[in-house]
């Protein structure tokens, strides 16, 4: 439920900035240092070009904030694909390993716990800030190599709904204007106000000197969900909308009310779809709060805020929120029961973290399921550089037929005597194997069990149309294939 034009900022590392004024020296007694820990996270991502292997490990550093319950709050990105997490006390360099108790990549938050709870002795949890306003000053904490805290003072320049990095989910964020310096520990930094936690810095744009801060309401929502027996996360209504500023559009649809937004998309099986919202509906109010022409409601605390903040952060999955809708000249009250997104129905995953990519190798032919991380292996310009048909399938996945299932494709073909002549085929979308429709990799495994006249017949949605393999030869050459290419397994499902 995000306007399409939402800007997505750069990722989160802090580039070095030579010549910037040194940060003011820290006052030793700030409350923060009793709540701040260094977090070293070693992570290893999978290599989607060789889905059976991982990329070289890398270590990221950030600052965790101790909150009530002996929990340490960090961004989810800091611990994504972690293999080992280590907590380090700033002053004494004492270390303890830690585990992830709860992580949510949509809101980019994670809770860590030290393996040894006694490690936190002598530290104090940091309370949450309330009532921040645009124009207020806030401080971003960083650690000097000697364990001292460096503080950068900035100004809160906006409070609005913006895209969170991994899934581009629109959640409330604080934007801070502050001249930050590159320092050791740049993933996750606490932003505080008078010793209270305002939020976690998740990305910084050095050119504009703006920091995006995961806001306290989002953190509190995450923590309250984490306290439940079943983590519910952040609900998505499943609609896209357009502003209604154009008076010609307003007159054409007969809209008399001053506000409202025009529904342009309702995702199948989403809460909005189940509740009966339709394309062309105009949303006039949510939870009794009027919506303006741009989609904002008047929040008593934050001012004019996109109404998705109500459905994803103020309310929780399982709650019912009433939408007042203008449709064909009538005004309707439609209760919408909120749910988090059912990720099992997603055609092409926008992120795959802490999870190995699935693959099946049949006689050297590598089958995978389309996901955005695969496309992102082409680098920063992947929208242009990655195989275009796959880019389009990912981008327009909501327009595919409902029963389309996953997009199974041949990522590449390992040259063997069995795949002679096919070596150059890559990134081809599969429609059928041995006459059976393919909607997932499991379908490929099933279909491959029944070759047709001794052949594995792979039908493609594009040229060359058909790839045929000798079923018996593939079986006979399994070991040779795994040995030659050092494959740990011929499939992972």
Q: Binding residues for another protein, per CB under 8 A?
A: 4-5, 240, 242-243, 245-246, 248-249, 251-252, 262-265, 279-280, 383, 388-389, 391-392, 395-396, 399, 418-422, 453, 455, 457, 462-470, 473
In the complex, minimum distance from the CB of residue 456 to another protein, in angstroms, rounded to a whole number: 8
Task: Compare residues 402 and 463 and give the one whose CB is closer to another protein.
Answer: 463
In the complex, minimum distance from the CB of residue 241 to another protein, in angstroms, rounded to a whole number: 8
Task: Compare residues 243 and 445 and give the one whose CB is closer to another protein.
Answer: 243
Task: Compare residues 194 and 462 and give the one whose CB is closer to another protein.
Answer: 462
In the complex, minimum distance from the CB of residue 452 to another protein, in angstroms, rounded to a whole number: 8
Task: Compare residues 242 and 491 and give the one whose CB is closer to another protein.
Answer: 242
In the complex, minimum distance from the CB of residue 319 to another protein, in angstroms, rounded to a whole number: 26
Task: Compare residues 68 and 462 and give the one whose CB is closer to another protein.
Answer: 462
Task: Compare residues 356 and 395 and give the one whose CB is closer to another protein.
Answer: 395
In the complex, minimum distance from the CB of residue 382 to another protein, in angstroms, rounded to a whole number: 12
In the complex, minimum distance from the CB of residue 240 to another protein, in angstroms, rounded to a whole number: 7
In the complex, minimum distance from the CB of residue 453 to another protein, in angstroms, rounded to a whole number: 7
Task: Compare residues 263 and 444 and give the one whose CB is closer to another protein.
Answer: 263
Tokens of 110: 């994670």
Q: ω before 36 within 30° of 0 (cis)?
A: no
Task: Compare residues 208 and 388 and give the one whose CB is closer to another protein.
Answer: 388
In the complex, minimum distance from the CB of residue 449 to another protein, in angstroms, rounded to a whole number: 18
């Amino acid at each position: 439920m995000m306007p399409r034009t939402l800007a997505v900022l750069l990722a989160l590392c802090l580039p070095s900035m030579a010549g910037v004024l040194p940060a003011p020296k820290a006052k030793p007694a700030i409350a923060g240092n009793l709540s701040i820990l260094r977090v070293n996270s070693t992570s290893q991502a999978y290599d989607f070009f060789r889905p059976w292997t991982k990329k070289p490990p890398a270590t990221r550093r950030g600052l965790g904030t101790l909150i009530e319950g002996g929990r340490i709050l960090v961004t989810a990105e800091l611990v994504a694909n972690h293999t080992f997490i280590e907590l380090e006390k700033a002053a004494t360099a004492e270390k303890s390993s830690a585990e992830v108790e709860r992580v949510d990549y949509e809101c980019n938050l994670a809770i860590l716990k030290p393996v040894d709870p006694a490690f936190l002795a002598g530290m104090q949890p940091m309370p949450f800030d309330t009532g921040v306003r645009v124009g207020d000053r806030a401080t971003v904490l960083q650690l000097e190599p000697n364990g001292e805290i460096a503080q950068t003072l900035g100004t809160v320049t906006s409070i609005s709904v913006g895209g969170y990095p991994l899934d581009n989910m629109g959640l409330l964020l604080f934007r801070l204007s502050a001249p930050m310096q590159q320092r050791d520990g740049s993933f996750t930094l606490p932003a505080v106000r008078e010793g209270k936690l305002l939020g976690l810095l998740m990305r910084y744009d050095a050119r504009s000197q703006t920091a995006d801060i995961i806001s306290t309401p989002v953190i509190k929502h995450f923590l309250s969900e984490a306290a439940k027996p079943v983590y519910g996360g952040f609900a998505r209504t499943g609609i896209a909308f357009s502003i209604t500023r154009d008076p010609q559009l307003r007159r054409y649809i007969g809209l008399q009310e001053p506000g409202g937004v025009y529904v342009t998309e309702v995702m199948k099986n989403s809460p909005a779809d189940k509740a009966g919202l339709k394309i062309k509906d105009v949303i006039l109010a949510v939870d009794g709060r009027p919506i303006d022409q741009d989609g904002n409601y008047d929040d008593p605390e934050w001012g004019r805020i996109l109404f998705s903040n109500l459905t994803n952060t103020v309310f929780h999955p399982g709650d019912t929120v009433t939408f007042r809708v203008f449709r064909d000249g009538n005004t309707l009250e439609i209760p919408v029961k909120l749910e988090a997104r059912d990720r099992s129905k997603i055609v092409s995953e926008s992120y795959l973290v802490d999870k190995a990519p699935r693959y099946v190798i049949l006689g050297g032919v590598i089958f995978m399921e389309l996901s955005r991380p695969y496309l992102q292996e082409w680098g920063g310009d992947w929208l242009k550089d990655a195989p275009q048909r796959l880019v389009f399938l990912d981008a327009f996945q909501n327009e595919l037929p409902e029963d389309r299932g996953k997009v199974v494709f041949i990522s590449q073909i390992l040259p063997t005597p069995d795949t002679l002549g096919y070596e150059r085929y890559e990134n081809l979308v599969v429609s059928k194997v041995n006459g059976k429709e393919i909607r997932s990799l499991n379908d490929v495994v099933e279909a491959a069990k029944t070759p047709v006249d001794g052949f594995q017949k792979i039908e493609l949605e594009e040229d060359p149309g058909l790839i045929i393999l000798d079923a018996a030869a593939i079986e006979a050459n399994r070991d040779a294939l795994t040995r030659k290419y050092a494959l740990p397994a011929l499939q992972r499902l």
